[in-house]
Amino acid sequence: MHDFLLAKQIVDEVVKIAKKRNLSNIKKVNLEIGSITLSHDDLPEPSRNASHNEAGRHTEDISLENLEFGLNNIASNTVLKNTEFTLEKMKGANWKITNIEVE
């Protein structure tokens, strides 16, 4: 579930960048993915891969396979429908776009 939320956030960000920079025909987006800090509704959620803190947030190890599936699924309804997403695991608690290739 969190993988899809992150995928939506990433697709939204890439679409925003594409509009701002007037990019079309985005061929490839390279991403680095760390352990992601996600906000919750302050309800405890059991998870083997998550560590909770008192503010209703936790750090979760995102599945790159699930994230890639989510990215492709969500992007299929956007200008990114033909875009290839490459994912690389990194240390840290964030994600970042490392490169956007256009045709």
pTM to 2 decimal places: 0.77
The whole-number pLDDT of residue 65 equals 94
Q: Which fold has domain 2-102?
A: hypothetical protein PF0899 fold (3.30.2320)
pLDDT, tens digit, 9 for 90 and up, residues 50-70: 444 444 555 667 889 999 999
Q: How many CA atoms lie within 13 A of 96 on its CB side?
A: 7
- The domain locations on the chain are 2-102
